[in-house]
Chain A
Amino acid sequence: MGKTLSEKIWDAHVVREGSAPGEPDLLYIDLHLVHEVTSPQAFDGLRQAGRPVRRPDLTLATEDHNTPTLNIDQPIADPVSRTQVDTLRRNAEEFGVRLHSLGDLDQGVVHIIGPQLGVTQPGMTVVCGDSHTSTHGAFGAIAFGIGTSEVEHVLATQTLPQARPKTMAVNVRGALPEGVTAKDLVLALITKVGTGGGQGHIVEYRGEAIENLSMEGRMTICNMSIEWGAKAGMIAPDQTTFDYLEGRPHAPQGDDWDAAVAYWKTLRTDDDATFDVEVDLDAAALTPFVTWGTNPGQGVELGGVVPDPASFADATEQTAARNALAYMGIEAGQRMADITVDTVFLGSCTNGRIEDLRAAAKIIEGRKVAESVRMLVVPGSARVRLQAEAEGLDKVFLAAGAEWRAAGCSMCLGMNPDQLAPGERSASTSNRNFEGRQGKGGRTHLVSPPVAAATAVTGHLTAPADLA
């Protein structure tokens, strides 16, 4: 019987099959990405055990979660954040790990810089102490987030014991309508399947709407795989993937390129392979989609209304919906488009790539950010920022009254000074609307970059098509 894409890649990375009952496979890791928050205790563990990093040449570190997006030429003001970043710098030096520090041209959100440098390639296994590692699955890689104990394990052994996940296909039929983005698609999917819908599965996104997406759009979809609980999300590599990679600093060259492409072309689910679960979604029926609640599965069409908690089937979901409405300060039946925001955040590993900035700039060009709104534009990497500046996008945002910042995770998780104050409400292109995610007491509506831009102009949740 044939194999699915994920089974092919998994099988190609098994160092040793589990022999004892329930013993997991030992999986080889091709690329380990590291950042300052989830690595200090792992490096400490190595030091205590007297172990080296086994493969510094398969390891890449950057600073992104804590780093400020203003005054980046000065020392980090928060002493605790500074200690964490300094700790990474010392560890990288001591263990010989390549690090892109704040101010470096290749610094940025870890999931933006991997693809940008060309170190993320089809058929690989990629891990990082960050749940949005699923982003790299867009290249046809098995990529997943790990905890700090596992970070230490990979640093020491370049492997991870992993139980083989089940397989799932998300079949997206039809084409996305004009003005509907990858973000809308994945938000609609998560609302359909729930935050736990993917638990224990590697998901392959397939179908016409997926094949027609750019690499940026594919990364947005795979990025949010974790938001519905999937172990990993992936998309089979194709010409779009190869074109994106060719010529990148760490892409194969010459004969290596030909050998790699020949292999990458085999990375497709066989026609006679079966998935444990299949989910179908109709792209043509989608419209701009946003969240109303406090998890990414609490979403609705922007043209719709806040749902009534009583409309949910299960008592737990009803309670969750009531808690979410109380936290969000909105009421059942309220039109989503009537919800006003005071903050718009454009950025993150979900939507901080050049295409996202272009899409938002196109909407905001010649318009003004509403006086009641502050809009933060945070490029996903230093190079995305440079590219945007070369295209004049910074001037578009600044002329509209938005703030143009340096690269990092920023307000996606509020570890640096970019936070919501209690009661503030954002339209955010990031990935999580959890309580307090963007700052204690802050309220988050997840949106696509075009909706973020249109919302910044009107001050309430707005689809670009509804702008005057």
Chain B
Amino acid sequence: MQPFSTHTGVAVPLRRSNVDTDQIIPAVYLKRVTRTGFEDGLFAAWRNDPEFVLNQPAYSKGSILVAGPDFGTGSSREHAVWALQNYGFAVVIGSRFGDIFAGNSGKAGLVIAKVDQDVVEQLWQAIEADPGVELTVDLNERLITGAGLSVPFAIDDYTRWRLLEGLDDIGLTLRHEADIDAFEANRPAYLPKTLPARTAS
């Protein structure tokens, strides 16, 4: 994963609540076996609507999404994160996120910047007053600046540290392999194993 410190880019106002991961990318686009190429499916149901925000020239190069509450609820598909990244988004700002989506974002390197909903409203108004305006998201300082605003955002310490360092989670865990071995040695015998396979008679 690439380390992340600061990102500056065009902010895109997505004035909708409850944008679930089926809206971010519908199931029919999930059939690829790679991590790339999912930009085609991003917000697929809305992309044919000329009014849709990403179809407006000022926002077409957007890389910071300012989303409504409960963004990324629903399915666990990490494809939703990949679709946003494949399209060019590096940050999503919002007030509330689906837990699994937020977790997946942290693993894949998409920054989830949490602010209160009234800050989202301020950002929406400021962006819409100046379409195409750029914001800067500073992960070190946990600060969003631009469009005449300067607002702090929340992100948990551990995710922030991993993103700043660009660390691979599996590598971090394997540093503690001895702890895993020790834990495994003490698991009760009655716990189920899937192998050898048993089946109903």
- Chains A and B come from one and the same complex: yes
- By a beta-carbon cutoff of 8 Å, the part of chain A in contact with chain B is 15-16, 18, 20-24, 26, 28, 30-31, 37-38, 40-41, 44-45, 49, 51, 56-60, 65-66, 78, 80-81, 83-84, 87, 98, 105-106, 117-119, 121, 124, 129-131, 133, 144-150, 152-153, 156-159, 161, 163, 195-196, 199-200, 226-227, 229, 231, 248-252, 256-257, 259-260, 263, 294-295, 297, 316-317, 319-320, 323, 383, 413-415, 432, 434-437, 440
Question: What are the interface flags for B78-103 relative to A under an 8 Å C-beta threshold, 1 for contact and 0 otherwise?
Answer: 11010000000000000011111001
Of B58-66, B128-136, B169-177, the one contacting chain A is B169-177
Residue B141, interface by CB 8 Å: no
CB-contact partner of B96 in A129, A196, A414, under 8 A:
A196
A80 proximity list for chain B (CB < 8 A): 31-32
B23 and A434 form a contact (CB under 8 A):
yes
B23 proximity list for chain A (CB < 8 A): 434-436
Q: List 12 A-B contacts (CB under 8 A).
A: A24-B158, A28-B183, A28-B187, A37-B31, A105-B199, A121-B191, A147-B108, A149-B107, A196-B69, A199-B98, A226-B74, A319-B17
Given A83-B33, A130-B75, A195-B73, 15 extra CB contacts under 8 A: A24-B158, A26-B173, A28-B180, A28-B187, A38-B76, A49-B170, A58-B193, A105-B199, A117-B198, A147-B81, A150-B107, A250-B192, A252-B190, A263-B188, A432-B20
Closest chain A residue to B120, Cβ basis: A316
A156 and B174 form a contact (CB under 8 A):
yes
A45 proximity list for chain B (CB < 8 A): 170
B45 and A21 form a contact (CB under 8 A):
no
Closest chain B residue to A264, Cβ basis: B190
Residue B77, interface by CB 8 Å: yes
Task: Please measure, in the bound complex, the distance between the C-alpha atom of A410 and the C-alpha atom of B92, giving whole angstroms.
Answer: 32
A265 to chain B, nearest CB (A): 13
Task: Please measure, in the bound complex, the distance between the C-alpha atom of A174 and the C-alpha atom of B178, giving whole angstroms.
Answer: 49
Residue B40, interface by CB 8 Å: no
10 smallest beta-carbon distances between A and B, as pairs: A22-B157, A147-B104, A149-B107, A147-B78, A40-B33, A145-B76, A249-B198, A256-B190, A260-B190, A57-B195
- Interface residues in B159-201 by Cβ distance below 8 A to A read 161, 169-170, 172-174, 176-177, 179-180, 183-184, 187-195, 197-200
B179 proximity list for chain A (CB < 8 A): 15-16, 26
A199 proximity list for chain B (CB < 8 A): 96-99
A84 proximity list for chain B (CB < 8 A): 31, 33
Closest chain B residue to A413, Cβ basis: B27
Closest chain B residue to A42, Cβ basis: B78
A163 and B158 form a contact (CB under 8 A):
yes
A196 proximity list for chain B (CB < 8 A): 69-70, 73, 96
B195 and A38 form a contact (CB under 8 A):
no
A434 and B200 form a contact (CB under 8 A):
no
Closest chain B residue to A316, Cβ basis: B17
A413 proximity list for chain B (CB < 8 A): 22, 27, 75
Closest chain A residue to B117, Cβ basis: A316
Task: Please measure, in the bound complex, the distance between the C-alpha atom of A257 and the C-alpha atom of B191, giving whole angstroms.
Answer: 10
Task: Please measure, in the bound complex, the distance between the C-alpha atom of A117 and the C-alpha atom of B199, giving whole angstroms.
Answer: 7
B33 and A15 form a contact (CB under 8 A):
no
Task: Please measure, in the bound complex, the distance between the C-alpha atom of A99 and the C-alpha atom of B100, giving whole angstroms.
Answer: 25
B104 proximity list for chain A (CB < 8 A): 147-150
Task: Please measure, in the bound complex, the distance between the C-alpha atom of A115 and the C-alpha atom of B195, giving whole angstroms.
Answer: 16
B81 proximity list for chain A (CB < 8 A): 147
Task: Please measure, in the bound complex, the distance between the C-alpha atom of A285 and the C-alpha atom of B170, giving whole angstroms.
Answer: 49
A259 and B190 form a contact (CB under 8 A):
yes
Task: Please measure, in the bound complex, the distance between the C-alpha atom of A159 and the C-alpha atom of B34, giving whole angstroms.
Answer: 24
B177 proximity list for chain A (CB < 8 A): 157
Residue B156, interface by CB 8 Å: yes
Closest chain A residue to B35, Cβ basis: A41
Residue B115, interface by CB 8 Å: no
**Most chain B CB neighbours (cut-off 10 Å) among A45, A51, A131, A152:** A131
A452 to chain B, nearest CB (A): 21
A161 and B169 form a contact (CB under 8 A):
yes
